[in-house]
Amino acid sequence: MRRLRRYGWSRRLVAENRLHPADLILPLFVLEGRGRREPVPSMPGVERLSVDLLPAVAERCLELGIPALALFPVTPPERKSEAGEEAWNPDNLVCRAMRHLKDRLPEIGLIGDVALDPYTTHGQDGIVRDGVVVNDETLTALARQAVCLAAAGCDVVAPSDMMDGRIGAVRGALDEAGFDGTLVLSYAAKYASAFYGPFRDAVGSASALGAADKKTYQMDPANSAEAVREAALDIAEAADMLMVKPGLPYLDVIRILKDSFRMPTFAYHVSGEYAMIKAAAERGWLDGAACMDEALLSIKRAGADAILTYAALEVAARLRERG
């Protein structure tokens, strides 16, 4: 077995999986204002950016071969409400960002999150009645949000709310509004994970959520067969792509879904996964670049066709240097 491992060229020749910039999607946090950039303390190297600063990042992505961005708004507190109505305001922050980017760089792919948590005062992904996140009333809101995003130039709407029936509701609303070409990326297996903490800090939903959790609608980390049922329902409702979130703690789920359905399958290398590597590297406990590359390659090996990662720019730059 060691003969094939002896030389760099032979290792490259027989490598079973390769990571490529075209496999990566860069998530971006969008701020109100102009010329603003704010570091996210719990995510070293990540910044919140105002709309006018986004095209420069998108240009760098295209230069490196990264095909798409996923936008997440930092909604000002005064724009939040119990029902999250700002989510379907056609002039909300993320819609303005979508239009700004598409006007300047129409070739970049734009992915829009469909969930109410950036817009609700309680931080939940849906509408709350008597302490319960209600399913069907939330679907109506999500459908309006998806159409609003599509009208702003969003290429891929990504329902991440984990309400039952959301894919069918979103797909039907898009088709009825004339956006039958808009793709739907379903967060088919989104777990009630402890790895989301830095993301919630970045978008400002952590303080709103407080001590509450999302375990009544996001998946139990103990389960994997349940993910197959979730994905099958979403495929039947016309999802174009599936997502597993988080990535590294759920490599088995990525593989199960890929083998079960042979659908385009994405993974989200989430904020906590990213922050762990960055924090350990800052302390000199590990080689941050090598560990980041290995982590993403393992997600690719598990069956992911694309990976959302905050490390997309740095990883793509390293891949280009290696040729």
Residues classed as catalytic: 190, 245
Whole-angstrom distance, CA of residue 25 vs CA of residue 278: 19
Structural tokens at position 187: 């967060």
* Alpha helices (H) in 152-186, listed in sequence order: 166-176
Helix (H) or strand (E) holding 187, with range, is: strand 183-190
For residue 5, count other CB atoms closer than 10 A to its CB: 10
In the structure encoding, which two tokens stand for residue 314, read together?
A: 């740095």
- Do the Cβ atoms of 80 and 119 come closer than 8 Å? yes
Closest CA to 25 of 263, 261, 300, 302: 300
| Residue 316 near residue 21 (C-beta atoms within 8 A) | yes
Encoded tokens for 186: 């379903």
Could you tell me how many residues make up the chain? 323
Phi then psi for residue 37, to 5 deg, are: -140, 130
What is the C-alpha to C-alpha distance for residues 30 and 91, in angstroms, rounded to an integer?
14
